[in-house]
Amino acid sequence: MKKIKMFLFLAVLVLALVPLNLFAESSQSNNLIAVYDVSKGEMINVEKIEKTDAEWKKELTPEQYHVTRQEGTERAFSHSYHHLKEKGMFKCSNCGTDLYSSDTKFDSGTGWPSFWAPVSEKNVGMKTDRKFFMLRTEVHCARCGAHLGHVFDDGPKPTGKRHCINGVALNFVPEKQD
């Protein structure tokens, strides 16, 4: 029994002393996610983006940081994207991942850009949000975790969904004219 305890103690000790960077290559492959790239018309593997709060604060405007990293909400009708009618792609303002096509945008009358579907369910993630004594579905960028807004079941056909998205969480790229 003493030999087993000693073996377990030594095994734990050795594992504790092994430099963590030996496992870096295997953890990087676990850091890949598949997202849909509209310009390529296919799923691609990209690295998930993880940064410290200090890094995000340096890269984002104060409003972008508040909304996308602290799960805030911009004021209704405060961003120009809610009435934008131009053709193009709405990308994550934090990492550039394709999120919503103007083809799925509609006027919900809420004051926030609204879409009935993302370009791919793989490009966004969803989780239950119980803040403010409400039960809602929060939507975030699958690649960098940026809070985008919420999804509701009162949207138009064909999905019946309304992705109500904060404008500061998006960057609009107009469609190229041939």
**Cβ contact 143:46 at 8 Å:** yes
Q: Omega into 158 within 30° of 0, i.e. cis?
A: yes
User: What is the reported pTM?
Assistant: 0.81
Known catalytic residue: 164?
Answer: yes
User: Does 15 map to a domain?
Assistant: no
| Phi, psi dihedral angles at 98 (to 5 degrees) | -65, 130
User: What's the domain count of the chain?
Assistant: 1
Catalytic residue, from 92, 141, 144, 164: name it: 164
Domain contains 141? yes
List pLDDT tens digits, range 8-56.
Answer: 444 444 444 444 444 444 444 579 999 999 999 999 999 999 999 999 9
Q: Decide if 146 is inside a domain.
A: yes
Are the C-beta atoms of residues 163 and 154 closer than 8 Å to each other? no
CATH at residue 160: 2.170.150.20
Query: Is 159 a domain residue?
Result: yes
In this predicted model, what pLDDT tens digit does every residue of 150-173 receive, in sequence order? 999 999 999 999 999 999 999 999
Structural domain harbouring 151:
49-174
